[in-house]
């Protein structure tokens, strides 16, 4: 930014700008640039320190920097009023419509004061130029409003897509679980058992592990159903399944294979421990 200002000043005759910097105004020129650098550094420090009111700090810095740039460039270049649109651009960074309207209104009012106090009195600028600049500000505010609205619509659309995808993933996970789990006992069903058993056989053959399979059923289960009813039989199945789930480890797999039978498989390199555990559990149920 300051390099561009310096190029304008040094090439004043070639670019046919209004007036070059004289020796008496060099200190004002440098003072404005020093203030610009100070404001930018202060704003950066404020943001990195994660202090409160960051939006307000950025908006204030943009106002100060834009008007300092305006007063530095205005004596040399026509159209320096465009630098005063910098505060309006801040609202685009945050996609904040309230900030956009506030900064746009403040910019229009402040430039009106600058024109009638300074430009019209000292620079003899016509009223038509003032009206054109104000129209540019208003058009830029309207364009920024359209950008913010479209960005929010795109954000809402992406949020809806994300939520829909998440709900589909949850439904798919639930449906997969329902297809694999026996509804009554909560154990895996016989179809899942066969699929998992094939995978276990391949892993055990490739890794040199032992696979243990235990099959058990409930004695006299038909008599329980005939005597007390099927709902009591369902309670018995649930209780047995609950005890089975409580005894298996991370390497064990329990499934309901038939009406009253269940199977347990264990993948381990130690052969005796799972067998002892299953035998102890079977002894408790007798």
List pLDDT tens digits, range 151-186: 999 999 999 999 988 888 888 888 877 788 887 888
DSSP for 102-143 reads: HHHHHHHHHHHHHIIIIIIIII---HHHHHHHHHHHHHHHHH
Distances (CA, A) of 169 to 159, 161, 173, 182: 15, 12, 6, 21
Last residue of a domain, one of 158, 180, 207: 158
Whether residue 137 sits in one domain with residue 38: yes
- Residue 179 within a domain: no
Q: Tally the domains of the chain.
A: 2
Candidate from 12-21, 31-40, 134-143 with smallest mean pLDDT: 12-21
**184 is a domain residue:** no
Mark which of 136, 158, 180 sits at the end of a domain: 158
**Distances from the Cα of 123 to the Cαs of 18, 19, 76, 114, in angstroms?**
11, 12, 12, 11
Residue 178, domain member (yes or no):
no
Q: Which domain holds residue 265?
A: 190-285
> Mean pLDDT in the chain?
78
pLDDT of amino acid 7: 45
Banded pLDDT at 228 (limits 50, 70, 90): confident
Do 131 and 201 lie in a common domain?
no
Residues 139 and 198 in one domain: no
Regarding whether 22 and 147 lie in a shared domain, the answer is yes
Answer yes or no: do 71 and 122 share one domain: yes
Number of H helices, E strands in the chain: 11, 3
The verdict on 150 and 203 lying in the same domain is: no
Whether 246 is covered by a domain: the verdict is yes
pLDDT tens by residue, 68-89 = 888 888 777 778 888 888 888 8
With 60 as the cut, is the pLDDT of residue 6 above it?
A: no
Give one word for 34, left, alpha or beta, with left for phi > 0 and alpha for psi -120 to 50.
Answer: alpha
Would residue 240 count as lying in a domain? yes
Q: Is 166 within the bounds of a domain?
A: no
- Same domain membership, residue 202 and residue 133: no
Note whether 133 and 241 are same-domain residues. no
Are 41 and 90 in a shared domain? yes
With the C-alpha atoms ordered 179, 185, 188, 193, is the resulting torsion angle positive or negative? negative
Read off the CATH number of the domain in which 199 is found: 3.30.70.270
**Does 170 fall in a domain?**
no
Per-residue pLDDT, averaged over 130-140, amounts to 92
> Within a domain: residue 205?
yes
Confidence band (pLDDT; 50, 70, 90) for 269?
very low
């Amino acid at each position: 930014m300051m390099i561009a200002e310096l190029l304008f000043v040094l090439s004043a005759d070639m670019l046919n700008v209004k007036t070059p910097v004289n020796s008496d105004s060099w200190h004002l020129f440098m003072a404005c640039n020093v203030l610009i650098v100070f404001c930018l550094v202060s704003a950066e420090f404020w943001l990195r320190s994660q202090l409160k009111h960051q939006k307000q700090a950025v908006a204030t810095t943009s106002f100060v920097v834009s008007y300092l740039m305006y007063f530095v460039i205005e004596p040399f270049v026509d159209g320096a009023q465009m630098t005063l649109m910098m505060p309006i651009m801040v609202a685009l960074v945050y996609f904040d419509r309230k900030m956009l309207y506030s900064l746009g209104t403040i910019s229009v009012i402040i430039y009106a004061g600058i024109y009638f106090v300074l430009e019209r009195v000292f620079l003899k600028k016509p009223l038509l130029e003032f009206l054109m600049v104000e129209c540019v500000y208003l058009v830029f505010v309207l364009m920024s409003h359209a950008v913010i609205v479209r960005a929010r619509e795109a954000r809402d659309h992406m949020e809806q897509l994300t939520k829909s995808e998440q709900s589909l993933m949850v439904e798919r996970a639930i449906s997969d679980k329902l297809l694999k789990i026996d509804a009554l006992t909560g154990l895996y069903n016989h179809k899942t058992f066969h699929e998992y058993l094939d995978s276990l056989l391949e892993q055990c053959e490739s890794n040199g592990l032992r696979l243990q399979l235990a099959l058990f059923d409930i004695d006299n289960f038909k008599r329980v159903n005939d005597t007390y009813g099927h709902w009591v039989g369902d309670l018995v199945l649930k209780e047995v399944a609950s005890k089975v789930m409580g005894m298996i480890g991370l390497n064990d797999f329990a499934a309901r294979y038939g009406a009253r039978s269940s199977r347990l498989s264990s993948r381990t390199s130690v052969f005796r421990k799972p067998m002892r555990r299953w035998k102890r559990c079977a002894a408790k149920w007798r």
